[in-house]
Structure 1
Amino acid sequence: MSEIPESLLYTSEHEWIREEDDGVLTVGVTDHAQESLGDVTFVELPDIGQSFERNAVFGVVESVKAASDLFMPVSGEIVATNDGLNDSPEKVNDDPYQEGWMIKVKASEDSVEKGLLDAAGYAAEIS
């Protein structure tokens, strides 16, 4: 059974979103996604300062099974990326909700939660 923390928001494309105290959003892939991918071997992330619209592809996760696009959960600007994934992409498998985070985003939307799922909604989506 996949771990689905109650405190996060989710997308149908298996990204999670955590709002930090400063309003920045931290984004990664869910436990369910990393289980489906298998061993992650490479993560391609965008450059800091790039802006993306909601649902645009912002990166790629490669695993022993497949390469999968990463989708932006909100419109906004990339303010940080997890450089630790360059040398240790397995962090996505080992700790998807903490050490395996991918990007931090400054949202350009007022309603960040629009179109996102809570934990119960995401659990229903993957069951």
Structure 2
Amino acid sequence: MLAAFADPERYSHARIVEQLQAAPPPFYRHFFICRQHDEVVGVGGIKAADWASDTHILYLSAVAEHARGQGIARALIATRIAWAMENFPHGRLLVSTARSRRFARLGFRLMGKREAGGRRLMLLEF
């Protein structure tokens, strides 16, 4: 699963293990995992932004290379958006992504200029 992360400096093995094994996970941080045949093939996190009220961040998103193209990433994104909307009456979702078209199709809009590495900050208000 570690190889699913395209940026090993940003997503080191230690960071992934720390984020997924922190127990108990607090309400302000929630993870969704996709499994196929007892193998984890996708993961996506959502956490509250401690610096902005009613704001959550989509992060730690990855799909194993051999499982790509099956809609897993799209399902993990949709599940996190649905979770936020079910648990909060209103708010904002932020994501830093190199795949801005994927998030634009889901209602996110671009914020600011392109970040280092070609990433863009995107916002969805609900």
TM band (smaller chain): 0.3 to 0.5
TM-score using structure 1 length = 0.33
TM-score using structure 2 length = 0.33
Q: Which has the higher contact order (CA 8 A, sep 6+)?
A: 1
